[in-house]
Amino acid sequence: MQVWPKGGSGPSSFSEWQANLVTTGIMNSTSFKETRPMKRRDFLKGIAATSTGIAISSGMGPMLSSAHAAGKEDFGEVKSVKVHCISETSWFDNATLGNDIKEAGGINTNQYDVAYTKDNLGGYAALIEIEALDGKKTKYLLDSGWNTEWMDYVFAKDGVDKMLKSKEINTIFISHDHIDHYFGIESTLKHQPDITMYFPGTSMKKSFELLKGADFSKTPGCPKNSVPHTGKLIVTETNKLYKVQDGLALVFFDAPATLQCRGENVLYAKIKDKGYITITGCCHPGILTLINHAKRNFKDGDKNYGLYGGLHISVFENWDPKFDDLITGMKTYNLSKIACHHCTGWIWAEKALAAGLPIVKGTDNYKSYSKVGTLAKANTSKLYIGNGDSVLFG
C-alpha cells in the first residue's frame, strides 16, 4: 500500500516524509517506532555488506536482517513463469485516499476504522501461470483487490471469474491484508469458496473474521464477505519456506507496514538455466531484503533473474539520493527483467531505466479499462507494467 499527501510535490527525504505526515495529521509522531530513517551512508554501507548476509530495505521500508540458513533450500525448477497484471490500480486518486486517512486520524489508524470514498477504490491482483519442466501449466491468483465492483469487472475482463469457477485456478496467495490487496476477497470466494489460500499469520483479527463471512461495511469502503471460506487455509509463519510446487515457493516476511498491518508473503520461482524471480505485492520488507534472502538461503541463490510487483520505493513520486544508491545496488545483481508498478513510483522506474536497469515497459492496455487512475493518465510514456499487461520470465 502507498499513501500520498494532498497536493505538493512530495518530500525530498524519508525524514521529511515522516515530518510531513505528522504535520498534516495523517499520522502521529509514534507511528514509526518500529522503523528508522536510513541515512545515505548507512544505505551505502548496507549495499556494500550484502555479500556478508546483511540485508536492508528499499529505503521506504524497515531495515531487516536474517541469519544464514544452515543449508541451502532447493525447491526445484520451472520452465517459465508468466505474470498478468489484473489490476495494479489500488485507488484512482492519491489525494482522495490521503484525505480519507487523515480524517480518520492518520496512518496509524486501524484500516477497518477509516471511512473511504467508495468511488475512489480499485484493487491489486495478478494472475500467475507456472510452466513446469514437463510443459504442464498451473495458474495461481495473487491477491483479491479492494472494491468488489472493480474486482468483479477486472476478473470478468480477464476471464479470471471463469478460471475460478472451473478451478483452473485453485490456489490464491494473499500477500498481506492491506485494504487494496485483501478487502475484495469476496470477489474470489463467490466463484470458489473452497479455494486453497496462503494467508499471512500476522493478519489482523478482523481480517481472519472476514474470511469467515464478517461484515464491516457499516464503515464506508470497508469490506463484507457473504461467502465464507471453506477451503484449505495455510497460515504462514516467519522463517519457514512453503513449497507450492516444484520450482515455486513462498516465504513470509514479518515487517511493519501502515494502518496497523504487518507482514508479507513473497513468492520465489526458479527458472531453469536462468535463475530466481521474485514476485511481490508491495515489497514492504524492502527489495534488497527479498533478493538477498534468495542469495543467502536458496541453492544457486546468487542467480537472480527477475522481479515482478510493487517495489515500494518512490511512493510519493519524489526523489531522494538514496534511490540512486538503490539503483546502483540493484545493478550488481545483473537482473534480466524488472516488471514493476503499483507502489514502485514511475519516477524511479524512469531513472532506473535511464541508468541501465532492465525495466519492462507497459502498453496502452490500461486505457481500455472503464476507469483510469490519475497517475496512469500522467504516465503517458508507459514506463512500467499496467492493467492488462503481461510479462514472461523464461
Secondary structure (3-state) at 250: strand
* Distance (Å) of CA 13 to CA 23, 30, 236, 323, 353: 15, 18, 34, 10, 22
CATH number of the domain encompassing residue 304:
3.60.15.10
Give exposure, 184-207, as e/b (b: 16+ Cβ within 10 Å). bbbbbbbbbeebbbbbbebbbebb
Distance CA 103, CA 122 (A): 20
Inform me whether the pLDDT recorded for 132 exceeds 90. Answer: yes
251 forms bridges with which residues in the sheet? 241, 266
Element (H, E) at 293: helix 287-297
Q: Which three cell numbers stand for residue 371?
A: 476507469
Q: Is position 175 within any domain?
A: yes
The pLDDT, as a whole number, for residue 55 is 30
Chain segment 240-292, per-residue pLDDT in tens: 999 999 999 999 999 989 899 999 999 999 999 999 999 999 988 988 999 99
Q: Which of 40-54, 238-252, 304-318, 344-358 has the highest mean pLDDT?
A: 238-252
**CA proximity to 64, closest of 39, 44, 40, 34:** 34
Burial class (CB in 10 A: 0-12, 13-18, 19+), 124: buried
Strand 241-245 vs strand 233-236: parallel, antiparallel, or unpaired? unpaired
Q: Is position 336 within any domain?
A: yes
Q: Is position 7 within any domain?
A: no
Q: Is position 97 within any domain?
A: yes
Distance CA 315, CA 337 (A): 21
Q: Phi and psi of 211, rounded to 5°?
A: -60, -30
The pLDDT, as a whole number, for residue 169 is 99
The pLDDT, as a whole number, for residue 198 is 99
pLDDT class of 347 with cuts at 50, 70, 90: confident
Strand 233-236 vs strand 337-341: parallel, antiparallel, or unpaired? unpaired
Inform me whether the pLDDT recorded for 353 exceeds 70. Answer: yes
pTM equals 0.84
Q: Which three cell numbers stand for residue 153?
A: 469487472
Q: Is position 1 within any domain?
A: no
**Could you give the percent of the chain with pLDDT greater than 70?**
81
Query: Are the CB atoms for 51 and 41 separated by under 8 Å?
Result: no
Chain segment 364-379, per-residue pLDDT in tens: 999 999 999 887 777 6
Distance CA 354, CA 81 (A): 26
Chain segment 295-322, per-residue pLDDT in tens: 999 999 999 999 999 887 776 677 778 8
**Could you give the percent of the chain with pLDDT greater than 90?**
67
The pLDDT, as a whole number, for residue 70 is 59
Inform me whether the pLDDT recorded for 186 exceeds 70. Answer: yes
Give the angle 293-181-160 at the CA atoms, nearest 5°. 105
Burial class (CB in 10 A: 0-12, 13-18, 19+), 66: middle
Distance CA 106, CA 49 (A): 36
User: How long, in residues, is the chain?
Assistant: 394
* Domain span holding position 167: 14-393
Q: Is position 263 within any domain?
A: yes
Inform me whether the pLDDT recorded for 360 exceeds 70. Answer: yes
The pLDDT, as a whole number, for residue 315 is 67
Task: Domain count for the chain, please give it.
Answer: 1
For residues 328-341, give the mean pLDDT: 92
pLDDT class of 189 with cuts at 50, 70, 90: very high
DSSP-assigned letters across all residues of 329-369: HHHTTT-SEEEEETTS-HHHHHHHHHTT--BPP--SGGGGS
